[in-house]
Each structure stands twice: as C-alpha cells, then as structure tokens.
C-alpha cells in the first residue's frame, strides 16, 4: 500500500480552492472573493475567501485550512478512541454558497484529508467529503443533473460507490430534531482509506472537481427567475434549518471549534440573513409546501 503523500494533497486542495473561486466569480458576474490568510496559535493556518453582496451570491465562502497539533479534540476521539495520544494533521477545502435568488439552491462541498501519527506505529489516515444541494423551490431537472454529475464522478472507481455515498449523504444531512432532510443530498463519505492512498486520493479529487460541474449550470438555469417577498421569506425560514444543522450536527464545525480553530472561518458557512418563526409552516397546498411534499425525501433522482 502506498504511503500517504501529504504535500500532494495540500497542493491539490490549494488548486481546488483557486478553481472553485474562479468559477464562482465568473458566474456571479460582479462579486469578488476577499482573502484572509490566518495562522493558528497551536499549529497550522489557512486562507479564508468570502464573497459578499455579489450580483448572484449573497454570501459565499471557500475555505482552505491545514491545522495540526499534539492532541485531538473530543469530537475526533469519541468515535475513534484509538487515535488518543497521537499527533494529527487535518487539511481540507470547505465551502458554502448562499445565493440571493430563492430559486437558486444553496450548495455545500467539502473535501478533506486527516492523518494521525505516533512514533513506532503506522499512521492512521483517511479522506472524507462530498457535496450536497439545498433547494428552496424544487426542480426535477436540477435534482437529476446534480445527482448525475455526482454519479459520473464516482463511477470510474466502482459502480457501487455512488449509491453508497448517496445513501450516506441522505442519512448524514438529516435534522433529527425536526425529522427532515436538509436538502436533496448528493454525496457524503468519511474514513475512506480501504482503496489505498493513491485510489482514495484520486476518488476524492474526482468528487472535488465535480462540484463546479454540478453547481454552475444550476445557477445559470435559475438566475433570471423573478421572485418576490413571499419567496424571500420562505428562503430565510429555510435557511434557519441550515443554521440548525451546522451548529448542532456538522462534524466539521464541531471539530473546528473543539480543536481551537478560527471561529470566523468555521462559521463563514452561516447565511447573512435568516428567520425563525414560532411553529412556522408553509401554507398547505402552496408552492412552498411542494418542497416538503416532494423534495425533502430520500429519492432516487436518476430513476424518477
């Protein structure tokens, strides 16, 4: 089995951040990413890029981070107790895009690499990541295109990978306290090392590269759709669900906060405006209710 090449992973992740930012700036047509380079007192650092108040993107962040330390946080050792006592390195690109137009879905993507080492023992390493889509107004064409692009990224590595990662995504991005999905899913994977370093790294790259291929055409198809205050109000309430998931369940958020990460970069995924209403529900039979009735359910989008 080939040894992990940490520098190759870092080089790829930096180039991926550049490529995604370039693609998003181009489709936005006016906004530019502000870059904030930072250092972590206990080891490592990163570069946070944020596009705010763009033509299409109300707020978007594309982060690269590479952090390391002598002790893992509780969020990491809770389900992997064998990692206790090891030093670690964690690096990745993580992004969330919140468009202004409610007919353009919010999107999230993340690819990451983790390695924990201890003198005299083999390193423990894995890849993780994926991407998922959170529409406010469902669109079958968008859902099918998103999932077909996800499948195309996985198929060269095995036909079993897409259905496995899709199911994992449906199960992971689920708000247990509301018993509802965050969106229409996509791909999610973690602890990936069973293929060896080279194949696992190649699969992670294929998924990372597929994000822009999946999302940019969806922006283009929906950016001219007219909307009003009703659609905006629905979008802001649904964004509340996004915030709830990120603060309560998201592994990356918990790992970052518990490991002494940079709070501003970790919480850049939160939307700029959001609403909560007591016992808020969409009107029965409305266009907004269709999201719940049809789209917020695990669905085989490629065979509907």
Binding site for a divalent metal cation: residue ranges? 98, 108, 147, 177
Radius of gyration of the chain (CA): 19
**Candidates 66, 108, 164, 174; catalytic one:** 108
CB under 8 Å to 80, separation ≥6 — which residues?
A: 124
Task: Name the DSSP letter for residue 293.
Answer: I
- The C-alpha atoms of residue 100 and residue 143 are separated, in whole angstroms, by 19
Identify any residues that bridge with 99 across adjacent strands, giving them in sequence order: 57
Closest CA to 129 of 76, 181, 191: 191
Joined together, the tokens standing for residue 50 give 């944020």
What is the separation of C-alpha 264 from the centre of its chain, rounded to a whole number of angstroms?
A: 17
Give the H/E segment covering residue 219.
helix 197-222
108 is known as an active-site residue: yes
B/e letters for 206-228, b = 16+ CB within 10 Å, e = fewer, are bbbebbbebbbbbbeebbeeebe
Phi/psi of residue 142, nearest 5 degrees: -65, -45
Q: Would you list which residues are annotated within the binding site for substrate?
A: 94, 110-112, 260-262
Which residues participate in catalysis according to the annotation?
A: 108
């Amino acid at each position: 089995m080939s040894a992990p090449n940490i520098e190759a992973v870092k080089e790829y992740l930096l180039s991926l951040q550049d490529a995604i930012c370039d693609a998003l700036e181009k489709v936005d047509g006016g906004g530019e990413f502000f870059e904030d380079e930072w250092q972590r007192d206990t080891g490592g650092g990163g570069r946070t890029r944020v596009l705010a108040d763009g033509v299409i993107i109300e707020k978007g962040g594309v982060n690269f981070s590479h952090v390391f330390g002598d002790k893992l946080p509780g969020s990491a050792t809770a389900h992997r107790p064998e990692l206790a006592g090891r030093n670690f390195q964690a690096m990745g690109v993580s992004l969330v895009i919140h468009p202004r137009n409610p007919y353009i879905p919010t999107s999230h993507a993340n690819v990451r690499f983790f390695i924990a080492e201890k003198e005299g023992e083999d390193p423990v390493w894995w890849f993780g990541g994926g991407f998922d889509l959170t529409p406010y107004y469902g669109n079958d064409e968008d859902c099918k295109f998103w999932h077909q692009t996800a499948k195309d990224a996985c198929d060269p590595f095995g036909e079993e990978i897409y259905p496995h990662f899709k199911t994992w995504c449906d199960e992971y991005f689920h708000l247990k306290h509301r018993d509802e999905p965050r969106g229409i899913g996509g791909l999610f994977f973690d602890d990936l090392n069973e293929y060896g370093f080279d194949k696992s790294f190649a699969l992670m790259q294929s998924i990372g590269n597929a994000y822009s291929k999946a999302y940019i055409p969806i922006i283009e198809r929906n950016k001219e759709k007219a909307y009003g205050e009703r659609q905006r109000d629905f979008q802001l309430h649904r964004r509340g669900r996004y915030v709830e998931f990120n603060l309560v369940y998201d592994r990356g958020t918990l790992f970052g906060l518990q490991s002494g990460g940079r709070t501003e970069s970790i919480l850049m995924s939160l939307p700029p405006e959001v609403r909560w209403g007591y016992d808020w529900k969409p009107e029965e039979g409305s266009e907004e209710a269709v999201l719940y009735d049809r789209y917020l359910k695990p669905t085989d989008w490629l065979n509907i």
